[in-house]
Structure 1
Amino acid sequence: MHASRCPRRYKCSAKEQCVCVSKALVEQTEMPHGAPPCLFFFLSCCLLLSCRPPAVAGNRGEDDGDDRVLKGSIGAILDLRCRTGKGERIAMKMALDDFHKGFGYKLALHMKDPGLDPKQAAMEASRLIDEKKVQAILGLRTWPQTAEVAELGDRASVPVLSFADGVPSWATDRWPFLLQFTPSYSPQITAISAIIGSWHWRKVAVIYEEDDGYAGADSIPHFMDAIQAVGSDVDYQLALSPFAPMAKELEKLKTRRCSVFVVHTSLTLATSLFAGAAEMGMMGKGYAWVTTGAIADHLDSANSSVIGSMQGVIGTRSFIPRASDAYTDLSRKFQRRFAAEYPGELIPELSINGLQAYDAVWAVADAMRRLDAGGDHSSRSPRQRQLLEHISASNFSGASGKVQFVLGKLVPPEILEIVNIVGSNVKEMGFWMDEFGFSRSIAHRTEPNLSMAALGQASWPGGTGSAPRGWVPSTGKNPLRIGVSSKSVFPDFVRVEHDDTQKSYHFTGFAIDIFDKAVKYLPYDLPYQFHPYDGTNDDMVAQVFSKAFDVVVGDTAILSSRCEMVQFSQPYTPSGITMVVPLEPVYPSMEWIFLRPFTASLWATIAAIGLINAFAVWLIERRSSPEYQGLSQSQQLGNLMWLSFTALFPQGERPHHNLSRVVMVVWIFVGLVLTSNYTAILSSMLTVQMLQPAVVDVEMLRRTNAMVGCNNGSSVVRFLK
């Protein structure tokens, strides 16, 4: 048969061409007269079956019912036994439909439910790669599943987008085809540390999950650094496992008296944690609980009993613009499809999990579309690597926020939401932005504000509106034992008086008042009792080292030997040893006092300079001046000595040579300075009584074996030995 036989000349569809061919065959086939009609029917059916359209590259997904041409396939490994997994399934199908409507690009979606078994997840992923030829795998809410499938995907060059929380930072380096599609916790760590700093909580306990299925412990070092940066300390770290005895672990926290807890666990473990804390009275007044997004992001899907056990809890979570038209439309479609596919089940809200699943499918589909637009690829491995590069280059504003990868990880969100559980509701208090701090609104941004008070009044555990002080109030059963010396010499500092009628002691003084005032400024109750001590200060300090006393209050000097046993507070007076000694005149007699303004060396220097100056003048004047001619050597020497003295007075000899005048001017200026100083010092010595200590240092006391008086029990005795 030739194509020219077809009257429509290739303009008909494949089915119509088959009908034409079948008619031609009937016309050309020489059938015996009276052949049965069933033979004609049989030949026509065979021909129709053999004229199927040629197969296209790709597969038809199990969730797609039309017969359009598929461009590729995506695999998903979800936990469809829980509402979160079911919601992710609905969101993924919605993303494929919306992408197809927007771009006309059809993809298949193959889903598998291996439960929580990592090995089973790896087997299902292998089937998706080998049988369904998927080009990317999404899902995987636990870290063990992510590790198993990432190893498989790396060997098969298939990108794996993980939804697991707390994937270790080294995972994307080990498996280049692994992409973490959950944002980093670094902004939440900063926000929680700001919450701690704004309420001035000095001690914080961090509770995290230690389990193979949850890698949240990787964030704990960052928590500690951020908390210390705001002036607080991590008092205790509690690592919880799903199988740990919750009551025993909570008892450890309760005995430490720290009442501020930061919880970074999965919602499943947090449910048991808060239920146990409520039973032990740790969800009442005076306690504060702050959670990360690992818990707060999933509160929309939590039941009423979980919400009821978390009253007063503060949480940070990813911001979702629930009031926007886009979210409202997407949520309406989600709830409608969920009700249609799971009739009779409680319809959940479109949570952050569903939005992340929606964006993940959109990112992969868009990457495959851009890759196909660039041309055909014959080899699978280079195409898959280019697909990984296209996914990593994604940069768009998705339903869950900014979708952009840096080193295989989703960029942190710019905005976080601060929530407070009040009654049966999750109250949205405000927002946190790294640039602006706390804010009630996103639109009206003001100056940076690091105080949570800007968000308004929060509801804390116990229904109170005042923030906890960060320390469990003491019962007063074990008050601090404060040692006070009863032998203090200065009652203005410490005074211990015994009341014989009431058989009690009264403690007063400057040191006692300072201690009482300091205790009142503490953000928690601190019961204490003063106890008198009759020993020395050294012995009293040793009582603190031996734990007989908790604290010592008094006029106790800070010494190096004492610092080896105890720690001192800031001193309220300067420390040191002072000697009280008699004074004696600096110049006991007035004889030769006119020589005392200058020292002997200065007098000698003045005399030497005068002689040198006189010699210089004589040497210049002796040939031109008649006074120096015709004299004997003794007379010349006498004139020289006289000249050195009279040069300072107007009655002295007048020089005849200009060079001599220059020398004399310099000497007269020096003499004027010396005369002024001499007059001032001598006048002071004659008019002001000058005294000096009779003993100048401790070594003099030791050399003379002098009698020294000191306070009873003072450290001076040990110092002088």
Structure 2
Amino acid sequence: MAEAQIPVKVGVVLDMDAYGNMTFNCISAALTDFYATHDHYKTRLDLISRDSKGDVIGAAAAALDLLKNVQVQAIIGPMYSVQANFLISLGQRAEVPIITFSATSPSLSLLRSPYFIRAALNDSSQVGPIVAIVQAFGWREVVLIDEDNEFGEGIVPFMVDALGKAKVLVPYRSVIPPSATDDQIAAELYKLMTMQTRIFIVHMLNPLAARLFTKAKEIGMMSQDYAWITTDSVANDFNSMDPPSIMLGVIGVRPYFPKTKHLDDFRIRYKEIVQRTNPKSLTYDPNIYVLWAYDSAIALAMAAEEAGYKDLTYQVTKTSSNSTDLESFGVSLSGPNLTRALSNTTFVGLAGNFQLINGELQAPPYEIVNMVGSGASVIGYWTKENGIVSEPNFTSSSANAYYPTSKSNLGSTIWPGNKSSPPKGWVVPTNGKKLRVGVPVKVSFTEFVRVTWNSDNSTKVEGYCIDVFDAVMAALPYGVPYE
């Protein structure tokens, strides 16, 4: 007679829209695949889903219900950084691991909870490749455009610090709320058009990014003279942009993961899941967050078996009759062991090597992609050890992460306006004050400086010194209007 399997209750907190339902189905598929080849395991994860309803309160209520009424041993989720803060605190209080595959804000690491497991990349890990791109093209000023919430602002200190070390100025930071209207987005873009900097680094979630680039194209900012670089929150979804032409010429960075037979097989499975979840949906390849969700479920299944099968209950302490829900749930007796086992779990997943250090997934190399007519094209790769390289045959190097690199390692690139040459990065600002240059007026030796007056009382300044001055000003990596 077969030995009875031990159920381990696991909560899943997701926004149960079409994407959330599809992600939950992928997590379920991961466990089905895993237990099919590990039928000797005595434990089985039992998934209990809750809808976080797209906001912070919904995520908090879902987690409270799972901890108090279901007494789960772990929670997978939430989907977004803005929802994660309170859940991490609840996990710390109940000693239950909170495993996220998509909350990437660096600010979450500051909470320093041993029960927060980020099975995704910290956004600060992509600062290196973005700065390397800026250095490669010799741009000296950039403008940051980020989403006005915890996710958007989390990367800013790391980005500004890294750009400063590379001697790149950030003269302006544009902050756009997720609730901004199209007119408000346009107003902010028009403000950027009055400035001289034409290099923009965009860090926001895909829904807001799609609106930003749609409006930028409408008002003429997806044209020559402009360069747009996006973080992986946008680049991961390049191939699902509709239409892709709104982002023609945009450069993005996203995690590189090796193409394997396991991944090819999952792609077929993923299309079936999408079509079953939402038959009217267009089918795209799974993005990195789906792969991390799949790998998170595998890691948790392995850790649950390693942690053992005892004490799958809560120790509930007595509270006063007027206690709130925040005080009335207990502490998981298996949580510490499960967290330790999860932290030591390593395997090769769909998204590459799964290894946690200090509770976070370790950063792989990044690939640099360029939006062309039909979608994203890989034009290069980046590693902390080697900088920008043309092929994914990575070797070790003692180089510093922010050393200057060469654009020659990047493949053929299309820029906004369907141009093949990169923009210089600046134009003469429409609202800037002109530099006034005084020159001496001499009547004798005029080879160095010569001033003549025109009939309309304007002046004409010529001479060797003037030629040298004009050449120096033209060679600057930014525009300085002068007279």
TM-score (norm 2): 0.85
Aligned equivalents of 2:276, 2:94: Cα separation in 1: 36
Aligned equivalents of 1:520, 1:489: Cα separation in 2: 29
- Which residue pairs with 1:132 in the alignment? 70
- Which residue pairs with 1:273 in the alignment? 212
- Which residue pairs with 2:257 in the alignment? 320
Aligned equivalents of 1:135, 1:518: Cα separation in 2: 66
- Which residue pairs with 1:182 in the alignment? 120
Aligned equivalents of 1:293, 1:309: Cα separation in 2: 17
- Which residue pairs with 1:383 in the alignment? 334
Question: Which amino acid is 2:21 matched to?
Answer: K
Aligned equivalents of 1:386, 1:277: Cα separation in 2: 51
Structure 1 residue 203, shift from structure 2 partner: 1.3
Matched, 1:109 2:47: yes
In the TM superposition, 1:12-27 aligns within 5 A as none
- Which residue pairs with 1:520 in the alignment? 474
Query: Is the contact made by 2:127 and 2:162 (CA closer than 8 Å) also made in structure 1?
Result: yes
Question: Which amino acid is 1:512 matched to?
Answer: I
Q: Deviations over 1:606-653 (max 9, x none)?
A: xxxxxxxxxxxxxxxxxxxxxxxxxxxxxxxxxxxxxxxxxxxxxxxx
Aligned equivalents of 1:204, 1:525: Cα separation in 2: 13
Which 5+ residue runs of structure 2 have no aligned equivalent?
315-331
Aligned equivalents of 1:468, 1:525: Cα separation in 2: 13
Question: Which amino acid is 2:342 matched to?
Answer: I
Aligned equivalents of 1:127, 1:386: Cα separation in 2: 23
Residues 488 and 196 (structure 1 numbering): CA distance in 2 closer, same or farther, change over 3 Å? farther
Aligned equivalents of 1:343, 1:450: Cα separation in 2: 46
In the TM superposition, 1:9-408 aligns within 5 A as 69-83=5-19, 85-104=20-39, 105=41, 106-162=44-100, 163-173=102-112, 175-211=113-149, 214-244=150-180, 245-300=184-239, 302-305=240-243, 307-322=244-259, 324-372=260-308, 376-377=310-311, 380=314, 381-408=332-359
Equivalent residue of 1:215, what SS?
A: helix
- Which residue pairs with 2:327 in the alignment? none
Question: Which amino acid is 2:441 matched to?
Answer: S
Aligned equivalents of 2:476, 2:249: Cα separation in 1: 24
Aligned equivalents of 1:206, 1:476: Cα separation in 2: 20
Higher RCO (CA-CA < 8 Å; seq separation 6+): 2
Structure 1 residue 493, shift from structure 2 partner: 3.5
Question: Which amino acid is 1:96 matched to?
Answer: L
Question: Which amino acid is 1:454 matched to?
Answer: N
Query: Is the contact made by 1:181 and 1:409 (CA closer than 8 Å) also made in structure 2?
Result: yes
Equivalent residue of 2:422, what SS?
A: coil
In the TM superposition, 1:420-435 aligns within 5 A as 420-435=370-385
Question: Which amino acid is 1:390 matched to?
Answer: A
Structure 1 residue 484, shift from structure 2 partner: 1.5
Aligned equivalents of 1:423, 1:378: Cα separation in 2: 54
- Which residue pairs with 1:495 in the alignment? 450
Q: Deviations over 1:526-573 (max 9, x none)?
A: 6654xxxxxxxxxxxxxxxxxxxxxxxxxxxxxxxxxxxxxxxxxxxx
Question: Which amino acid is 2:172 matched to?
Answer: Y
TM-score (norm 1): 0.59
In the TM superposition, 1:588-667 aligns within 5 A as none
Q: Deviations over 1:434-458 (max 9, x none)?
A: 1122222112769878223312221
Aligned equivalents of 2:166, 2:303: Cα separation in 1: 42
Equivalenced residues, count: 454
Which of 449, 461, 483 pairs up with 1:507? 461
Question: Which amino acid is 2:420 matched to?
Answer: G
Aligned equivalents of 1:378, 1:309: Cα separation in 2: 52
Query: Is the contact made by 1:172 and 1:179 (CA closer than 8 Å) also made in structure 2?
Result: no
Aligned equivalents of 1:480, 1:326: Cα separation in 2: 62
Residues 397 and 508 (structure 1 numbering): CA distance in 2 closer, same or farther, change over 3 Å? same
Which 5+ residue runs of structure 1 have no aligned equivalent?
1-12, 14-52, 57-67, 530-721
Query: Is the contact made by 1:304 and 1:424 (CA closer than 8 Å) also made in structure 2?
Result: no
Residues 276 and 344 (structure 1 numbering): CA distance in 2 closer, same or farther, change over 3 Å? closer
Question: Which amino acid is 2:47 matched to?
Answer: L
Q: Percent identity?
A: 32
Structure 1 residue 143, shift from structure 2 partner: 2.7
Structure 1 residue 101, shift from structure 2 partner: 1.8
Q: Which segment drifts farther, 445-454 or 424-433?
A: 445-454
Q: Greater strand percent: which structure?
A: 2
Query: Is the contact made by 1:165 and 1:294 (CA closer than 8 Å) also made in structure 2?
Result: no
Q: Which segment drifts farther, 381-390 or 198-207?
A: 381-390
Query: Is the contact made by 1:143 and 1:167 (CA closer than 8 Å) also made in structure 2?
Result: no
Q: CA RMSD in A?
A: 2.9
- Which residue pairs with 2:441 in the alignment? 486
Structure 1 residue 517, shift from structure 2 partner: 1.9
Structure 1 residue 335, shift from structure 2 partner: 1.9
Structure 1 residue 124, shift from structure 2 partner: 2.2
Residues 393 and 280 (structure 1 numbering): CA distance in 2 closer, same or farther, change over 3 Å? same
- Which residue pairs with 1:692 in the alignment? none
